[in-house]
A = this chain, B = another copy of it.
Amino acid sequence: MSVVKFLELSAQSPQGYEDAIKQAVERASSTLRGIQSVWVKEFEAVVENDKVTQFRVNVKISFLLEGAGAG
């Protein structure tokens, strides 16, 4: 019985959206195994002193539930 869980993270990068997504996946995979897929839900940009300093994404990540708690 394969059950998949979803979690939502937000990450940012000064380089661009692709790099921000990689950071979110890197952080998730530091404690989770079996990452299945990533949907990008939101795209933002952080502005400081009228300059874009960060490209930020909200991503929904799915991973295969093993023994870990479903909570």
Interface residues of A (CB under 8 A from B): 1-12, 16-18, 21-33, 35-40, 42-47, 50-52, 55, 58-59, 62-63, 65, 68-71
Contact = CB atoms under 8 A, between A and B. Distances in A.
Contact of A38 (B26, B44, B62): B44
Given A10-B62, A58-B6, A47 B35 contact: yes
The quantity of this chain's copies bound in the complex is: 12
Given A25-B51, A40-B44, 14 more contacts: A2-B11, A3-B9, A3-B10, A4-B9, A6-B10, A17-B18, A21-B52, A28-B70, A32-B69, A35-B50, A36-B47, A38-B46, A39-B43, A43-B43
Contacts of A31: 69-71
